[in-house]
Structure 1
Amino acid sequence: MAFQYQEELKRLKLIPRYTIGESNLLHKTISFIDSASLLFIQDELFNKEIYKFKADNSNPYIIDAGANIGLSVIYFKMLYTEAEIVAFEPDNKVFKALKTNVETFSLSNVTLIKKALWNTETTLKFYSEGADGGRIAIENENEKLVEIETTSLRGYLQRKVDLLKIDIEGAETIVLQDCEDLLHNVKNLFVEYHSFTDQNQSLDKLLNILKNAGFRYQIQHIGLFSPHPFINITKHSGMDLQLNIFAYK
């Protein structure tokens, strides 16, 4: 079994980026749209278990904002088989893989919503990156754009939330500002913070929202990291910083 796993890792590493395919990495067929992002997310979730949390009951309520192809949904269901999950993913191609994977793993009590989170219900231009980096388009961006529907998170926070996971590539501060007064219902909150080079950084606003809602937090670098920021800033896809923020009460 270990040999087959290692051989599958080797195979996936050889697949060109943004190539749609399938893998048995989790002992069932997984549909993916980019092998590199599949390998990264699989390691983060199933090896490092960065989303692992302790629920007060056997059927926690989990909101997965930015579910991508569904590895996080699969992980949460492995952690708590009776969990109730609401998962958001706006990208058409990614959503198709998400839906297929949820069906392949026969996951019940999972609601999939093909919308992006924002501070209102509207239609926005969306940068369809082709892997796990899709996001609301930024100013002057004109390639790989599609139109997507958005919705507010407020309607999903009217009850106790055991875990709110937010990985929405730059919209996190706007979304949290919109529902700040409802975060008292959230026990655990994961948010990936993204800083774009041509926009004001909003980390201070985000952390103040968490503090005012009664959270303590831990911060970790993820992916994009500048070892000598006074000399050179590492940049990727218009970003100069990514952080994993784990907030808890």
Structure 2
Amino acid sequence: MKREIRKLIRKFGFDITKFQKDKMGIYPFYDMAKFVKSNNPIFLDIGANTGQTVKDIKEVFKEATIHAFEPSPSTFEILKKNTSSFKNIQYWNCGIGSSNNVLIFNEYALSNMSSFFELQNVNPSDLKNKIKVNVTSVDQFIVDNQIQMIDVLKIDTEGFELEVFKGSINSFKQVKIGMILFEASFSLGNENMPSFTDLYDFVIENDFELVSIYPVIHRNNMGAYTNILFKHKSY
């Protein structure tokens, strides 16, 4: 009977798999839970978009404080609406980079593709708007808000990850960041975007060690991007 049900579901392009939260390398936030010891950990969600990661964090870390950053004003409003039922969320309508600055942000039709880089592998008509946004750094944000420890730094900035790393260097050295979850692309949308090895090497050189590389997302039968979780050696 189970086999027949599964065959039926597969006809519609879906499948049934066992939920294995204790198995490493499948669910990033359950993997984090094996290392995060605080009962009320602090997360920085850089590139919060419409709140997808906020929901994932709260599923596992219900008492977490989340600082959610989203530079697009329109997407920022959707983010707040989508996550209004959660407590301990602080919202920041700004970008995060290597230093305090004002930069041009490119808003695309699909909000999760919006970036400080103008993408070269999309239809030009998909670019809907260019706006000026305020940008700060992780190091400056930690100082300004007197934060002693960031348990998890999550970054999904469509190619701006290395700039976020550069603006976190003092926090890395002072061991104020316990874990990093970031997206790394194999197919670069702009020649100035960092490669997988650029990002990997940077965190390794700053005393982080690999926890897991998650399943690769494919486009046109080729690897497009993946998410990677690192832990500081002293965390």
Judge conservation of contact 1:66–1:167 (CA < 8 Å) in 2: yes
Structure 1 window deviating more from structure 2 (130-139 vs 52-61): it is 130-139
Aligned twin of 1:202:
195
- Contact 2:118–2:190, Cα closer than 8 Å, also in 1: no
The letter for the 2-side match of 1:72 is T
Q: Distance in 1 between matches of 2:105 and 2:98?
A: 15
Structure 1 length-normalised TM: 0.67
Residues 109 and 205 of structure 1: is their aligned pair in 2 closer, same or farther, counting only changes over 3 Å? same
| Aligned residue among 158, 164, 169 for 2:153 | 164
Question: How far did 1:221 drift?
Answer: 5.0
1:151 to 1:247, Cα distance in 2 relative to 1, 3 A = same
Question: Which of 163-172 and 215-224 deviates more?
Answer: 215-224
User: Would the alpha carbon gap of residues 137 and 198 (structure 1) be closer, same or farther in structure 2, given more than 3 Å must change?
Assistant: closer
Q: Flag as ranges the 4+ runs of structure 1 deviating above 4 A.
A: 139-142
Q: TM-score, normalised by structure 2?
A: 0.71
Aligned residue in 1 for 2:163: 174
Task: Spell out, residue by residue over 1:88-138, the C-alpha distance to the aligned partner (whole angstroms, 9 max, x if none).
Answer: 0111221111111222x1x22211001111112222222212331111133
* Contact persistence 1:137–1:145 (CA under 8 A): no
Once the two structures are superposed, the pairs formed by residues 34-53 of structure 1 within 5 Å of their partners are 49-52=27-30, 53=32
- Structure 1: runs of 5+ lacking an equivalent: 1-47, 228-233, 235-239
Q: Distance in 2 between matches of 1:222 and 1:92?
A: 30
Q: Are positions 1:128 and 2:107 aligned together? A: yes
Alpha-carbon distance in 2 for matches of 1:122, 1:56:
35
Counterpart in the other structure of 1:223: 217
Contact 1:173 1:202 in 2 (8 A): no
Change (3 A) 1:138 1:83: same
CA contact (8 A) 1:188 1:247 kept: yes
- What are the equivalent positions in structure 2 for 1:134-153 lying under 5 Å apart? 134-138=114-118, 143-147=127-131, 148-153=133-138
- Say if 1:119 and 1:151, in contact at 8 Å, map to a contact too: yes
SS of structure 2 residue aligned to 1:132 = helix
* Residue identity (%): 23
Gaps of 5+ in 2: 1-25
Distance 1:180 1:188 in 2: 14
**SS of the counterpart of 2:67?**
strand
Q: Distance in 1 between matches of 2:119 and 2:79?
A: 28
Helix, strand or coil at the partner of 1:82 = coil
Distance 1:88 1:165, change over 3 A: same
**Any idea what SS the aligned residue of 1:144 has?**
strand
Cα distance change of structure 1 residues 203 and 180 upon mapping to structure 2, 3 Å threshold? farther
What is the RMSD of the two structures over their aligned residues, measured on CA atoms? 2.8
Question: Which residue pairs with 1:237 in the alignment?
Answer: none
Match in the other structure for 1:117? 96
1:202: Cα distance to partner? Answer: 3.5
Q: Verify: 1:78 aligned to 2:72, yes or no.
A: no
CA deviation profile, 1:18-64 (whole Å, cap 9, x unmatched)? xxxxxxxxxxxxxxxxxxxxxxxxxxxxxx63333212121001111
Does 2:69 match 1:88? Answer: yes
Contact 1:89 1:95 in 2 (8 A): yes
Cα distance change of structure 1 residues 221 and 138 upon mapping to structure 2, 3 Å threshold: farther
State whether structure 2 residue 225 is matched by structure 1 residue 247: no
SS at match of 1:68: coil
Question: Following TM superposition, by how much is the alpha carbon of 1:144 offset from its aligned partner in structure 2, in angstroms?
Answer: 2.0
In the aligned structure 2, how far is the partner of 1:219 from the partner of 1:76?
A: 18
Q: May I ask how many residue pairs the two structures share in their alignment?
A: 192
